[in-house]
Structure 1
């Protein structure tokens, strides 16, 4: 007899409205959409099943937060069937683009189709709880990604930065690193994992998302929950102002707590306290990498 996976709520249905006013064309570069399952079934074998988080809830959240553009990242919740993200792009009035999940041996015809559909990159996970891929196979794919105008996005455990970094430098396309490399914010900016991440960013082909401050600082006391994560994000933005992106990570899978999305937006007051750098983080940098065509 099999046991059905536990179903969990991963996001607040009624988050606070932020006090920070975001600049025009502010972009959330890292979200997911889940379901609705009758139309977009979940992948088999999930250990934890998140409740549906469909595109309509994402659109409504962004209206509340003052976000005008977005990049939706395909999640392992839906596996390699990218149709749930494509559907959200198609209904997003030109303001939503995507990053797909594919196999390293994906056909060129599929890469071309994804690019035409509004996908700007492909993502690979190097996480212990997910089925992994060989980094050499991923790097071998990058010349074909280049031919279709797609970049490479990678999600890895922080300790793997030392192993993966030299390989990623061989990429033929820009490389976007998720969630500040999943470093442990409590270890500070001098820790070897964070230092290795910054050495990668010394090459301007690399980008980093200062998303997931609630992930990398999740075990801090509630009153200090995001402080260390904000500090690391600010360090990255100060040093690499042209290579940093921000994302909310809604609907927050794999969390120890459910963050308030309004609070995550207000945390930008600490990460990017200057209006010009906030505009660069939220508008200029995303436009440079993702090439939105709407105004």
Structure 2
């Protein structure tokens, strides 16, 4: 079924050298298909090979991941059933973040929340359909908060300062994707990274420290980006979560080896306390995982 579609993930990743704590969570990954059962959205510009739940489960079992948050991909649009199927296969340990239109109905929000979705994601990236506008976010935020859901934001780094003016006043938990997609080659003093740090100082704003490899312009171990990610973890140790971003859609080159990404964890969470918070305690707090 994959025909000539590009495989965006390494089929046989090397084993990580990191021993993760019990209950460790991958808080950002996706599932593509299989298309025979879960067709891709016609509007999706990305046409990857299948990346089914079985491959994701195998990666997690290999690396020592006990919990997971699957983020609905634009490949499947607003039809979140591919994530629902994966959550049902590992109930309680696998939760979701949905895609939905800004005017999603109360009934659909109720259904998503009861079904294990903990948030709604909006994209503000050139290669993806546009997210909600300011008025739509303001209207949606209290509806999410009432259901224990959060707002997840994936945005171009040039938009951080402008978006911050909106996000800091929203009455809902906000989660910023991939360290704001900052360009690590610009350094820590660049306006984009400094705007991100200011935004993260808001009590209700969290950060996913996934995507270090995306923010880098180097080969593993991504030496230009790791210090910036580590600075975010040290600055807000109780408001960060980590993820693989498997199966690495729209990556800049050939897909990264997930073993390399797992090996970055002790470089970005440099103390035992930071590691425990990043991989276990913060995911439990944000996503309300049950005890293992």
Same fold (TM over 0.5): yes
1:52 to 50, 53, 61: 50
Compute the displacement of 1:119 (Å): 0.3
Q: Distance in 1 between matches of 2:135 and 2:180?
A: 19
2:15 to 5, 17, 23: 17
Compute the displacement of 1:243 (Å): 0.9
Q: Does 1:237 align with 2:233?
A: yes
Does structure 2 retain, via aligned residues, the 8 Å contact 1:95–1:294? no
2:222 to 221, 226, 230: 226
Partner of 1:272: 269
Compute the displacement of 1:229 (Å): 1.6
Partner of 1:281: 278
Compute the displacement of 1:214 (Å): 1.2
Does structure 2 retain, via aligned residues, the 8 Å contact 1:6–1:47? no
SS at match of 2:96: strand
Q: Distance in 2 between matches of 1:113 and 1:269?
A: 37
TM-score (norm 1): 0.95
Which runs of no fewer than 5 residues in structure 1 stay unpaired? none
Q: Distance in 1 between matches of 2:180 and 2:42?
A: 27
Alpha carbons of 1:42 and 1:170: their partners in 2 closer, same or farther (altered >3 Å)? same
TM-score (norm 2): 0.96
Compute the displacement of 1:294 (Å): 4.0
SS at match of 2:5: strand
Partner of 1:212: 211
Partner of 1:123: 121
What are the Cα deviations for residues 23-56 of structure 1, in whole angstroms up to 9, with x where unaligned? 1100010000010111110011333311111111
Which runs of no fewer than 5 residues in structure 2 stay unpaired? none
Q: Distance in 1 between matches of 2:267 and 2:78?
A: 36
Does structure 1 retain, via aligned residues, the 8 Å contact 2:29–2:243? yes
Q: Distance in 2 between matches of 1:267 and 1:180?
A: 14
Compute the displacement of 1:259 (Å): 0.5
Partner of 2:75: 77
Superposed CA RMSD in Å reads 1.3
Q: Distance in 2 between matches of 1:66 and 1:81?
A: 30
Partner of 1:144: 143
SS at match of 1:62: helix
Partner of 1:262: 259
Does structure 2 retain, via aligned residues, the 8 Å contact 1:6–1:48? no
Does structure 1 retain, via aligned residues, the 8 Å contact 2:44–2:76? no
Alpha carbons of 1:48 and 1:144: their partners in 2 closer, same or farther (altered >3 Å)? closer
